[in-house]
Amino acid sequence: MKIAIKRLLFIIVMLGLWEGIHLANFYPDYIVPSPITVFDTLITGFLQGDLLTALGASFKHLIIGLSLSILIGTLLGVILGKSKQADETAGMYLIALQSIPSIVWVPLAILLFGFGELAVIFVVVVGGTFVMALNVRSAIHSVPPQFLRAAKTMDARGFELFYRVEIPASIPYFIQGIRLAWAFSWRALMAGEFLSNGPGLGYSLSFAQDYARMDQVIGIIIIIGVIGAVVDQLVFSKLERNVMKRWGLLNS
């Protein structure tokens, strides 16, 4: 059987089960709404523009935050990757910072910037920066010494060695870093928006919770899941595979 058909069947069965539980009336409608209601809510949300506004706001936060975290993370990563001194001094703290769940930064951001968009962007930046920095650091550390030796015999040295060999050689890990930064930022974004005063998908979610709109809650969760999967599969997976192949890091 084709993979696409298997996947389609699976989702149909799951929706069937869901509808079955809904029809059995074990739970009231506001706890288990019908999938049809959820679908309806999504359509109305898009048609009336509420969801589009929220989506637009979320993407704005994400793009600003992710760009900043890639920029800052790369800068930090290059410093730690190139300077043994800096790495020994601060490298360990970076790992510690990276392991802090991004929602932990939300109270700090709210106290610093209030409940507005700035706080959300701050959380997104913090969410992506450290993982980006760590990946750029290992990207630089994993440049094959063989490339550097070969380049030196061809009269490349100093800064030229850095930008003609080290940067291109570390691109596969750099892209992995961006992919991870995106994943971390996306999670951080939802946490930040959930506790903010909107707009954004996360805010819409908390709004729906306040009004006990399970159909909206599930609908927004579906949107969040679909966006995550689509961006990861269509953008980053493909990009990473192509680069890995070119760089000879893929065995196929």
Partner 1 sequence: MFLELKDVAKTFTGEKQGAFEVFSDIDLSIEENQFVSILGPSGCGKSTLLAMVAGLESLTEGEMKLEGEQINAPGPDRGMVFQEPSLFPWLNVQENVTFPLKHMYSKADAQKRANDFLKMVHLSRFKEHYTYELSGGMQQRVAIARALAMDPKVLLMDEPFGALDEQTRHILHDELMAIWRETRKTILFVTHSIQEAVKLSDRVVVMGTRPGKIIADYSIDIPRPRHRDHPDVIQYEKQIMSLLEVEINKVLKEELSYENRD
Residues that bind partner 1 (CB under 8 A): 146-147, 149-156, 164-165, 168-169, 171, 245-248
Output the six-digit token pair for 109. 């951001």
215: burial class by Cβ within 10 Å (0-12, 13-18, 19+)? buried
| Residue 155: CB minimum distance to partner 1, A | 5
Of 2 and 149, the one with the shorter C-beta distance to partner 1 is 149
Spell out the alpha helix ranges (H) of the chain: 3-24, 35-48, 50-82, 84-98, 105-113, 117-141, 145-153, 158-161, 167-169, 171-194, 201-210, 214-230, 238-246
**Which single residue is written with the structure tokens 């979610």?**
205
Of 62 and 169, the one with the shorter C-beta distance to partner 1 is 169
| Residue 157: CB minimum distance to partner 1, A | 8
Of 238 and 245, the one with the shorter C-beta distance to partner 1 is 245
| Residue 147: CB minimum distance to partner 1, A | 6
Of 99 and 153, the one with the shorter C-beta distance to partner 1 is 153
Output the six-digit token pair for 57. 């706001």
Which DSSP string corresponds to 188-222? HHHHHHHTSSSSSHHHHHHHHHHTT-HHHHHHHHH
| Residue 232: CB minimum distance to partner 1, A | 24
| Residue 246: CB minimum distance to partner 1, A | 6
